[in-house]
Amino acid sequence: MGNSVRHYDWCYVSGRVNVLECSLLSSNFFERLLSTADFKDVLANMNNTPLKAYFTHVKHLYEFEALLDEYYYNRLDEIRSLSPDSVVCDFFLLRNDVHNLKRVIKSKILGASVDKLFRGTLQGGDEGGVKKELLPFVIDLIIDGAYLRYVEDYCKKIDVEIIKRYLETYQLVKGLEIIRRAVALKLNMNLLNQYFVEGFDKGHVFHKLAKNTVRASEKTLCEIFVETHCNASLQGLLLSNLSRNISFRYEVATDNYLLDMLRPVKYIPFGPERVFGYFCGLTTEVFNLKLLLGGKVHRVENNLLRERLRKTYA
């Protein structure tokens, strides 16, 4: 997104986003949804939201993933088509390209069929001595590493400071999440180094973290966070959550932090940051909806659902 695209070019799409932001769902809505026990009550709650057009019958609750994807990508396609530069919107499609690539490669290697691909920016053997049961993890490491390196390059296309800071923080917390997962799964650290860390510059923070995977001291982590200009509140959040055995708490905490980073853009009248913030909020909203509707369909306890919910942007 070059400097040639001026903020006032974003006036119309920012106005549209301002209208759509008003229809984002609040934390109170999700609390009400949690308290419902009957599917008819779930549907009644959704009748007062933009989702009414997608969920017109109780049977649609069993198709919630496909319907929520349709809702999400319809919004994304609309705003993308109105934006003077699509790079802000493409970030949210890029993750689907990564997801699709993983599914295709794993299915080819394991001899399975690809049942579903998500909408992204792209349309359309040799095991290398790695044990077959480890291949899915190795594929994740390779593609996640490539994705996070691309996020680093993606920052260069963005000249809006708050979006750049978001992307830098996003890369850090997601990279830590991958390293943390490898440790939790007791994955061979040579695989982590070879397939995830190796692609980053030798001085990158992930190289230093990979060397301290077993018991990284708080001092070591603090030194690394200072080097990466990680602010004090994020340092505290990461240090308090990295040591926990329950991985979803780290994901909830960091996802909430990332969304909170973008709340100030709601007070910017127009510009690419306004669009980016809205899509982060919409992405979180659809995640929460899938979590709760899936929980209702599969009779998951409310407390288990509540502690996994992310903050809302509304």
List, run by run, the mean pLDDT of 10-residue segments along the chain (314 residues).
Answer: 64 95 96 92 92 94 96 96 92 88 81 64 49 79 92 89 93 88 78 88 81 58 66 74 70 93 93 96 98 94 95 94
Looking up tokens 């850090």 gives 172
Residues whose CB falls within 8 Å of the CB of residue 240, separated by 6 or more in sequence, listed in order: 253
User: Burial, 15: exposed, middle or buried (Cβ in 10 Å; 0-12, 13-18, 19+)?
Assistant: middle
For residue 139, what pLDDT is reported?
87
Give the Cα separation of 290 and 40 in Å (integer).
17
For residue 121, what pLDDT is reported?
55
Whether the Cβ atoms of residue 276 and residue 270 lie closer than 8 Å to each other: no
For residue 128, what pLDDT is reported?
47
For residue 126, what pLDDT is reported?
41
For residue 118, what pLDDT is reported?
65
For residue 138, what pLDDT is reported?
85
For residue 238, what pLDDT is reported?
77
Compute the 3-state secondary structure of the chain and give helix, strand, coil in percent, each to the nearest 5. 70, 0, 30
Give the Cα separation of 257 and 262 in Å (integer).
9
CA atoms within 13 A on the CB side of 133: 3
For residue 27, what pLDDT is reported?
95
Which conformational region is residue 187 in: left (phi greater than 0), alpha (psi within -120 to 50 degrees), or beta?
Answer: beta
Q: How far is CA 173 from the centre of its chain?
A: 11
For residue 146, what pLDDT is reported?
92
For residue 186, what pLDDT is reported?
76
For residue 21, what pLDDT is reported?
95
pTM of the model: 0.86
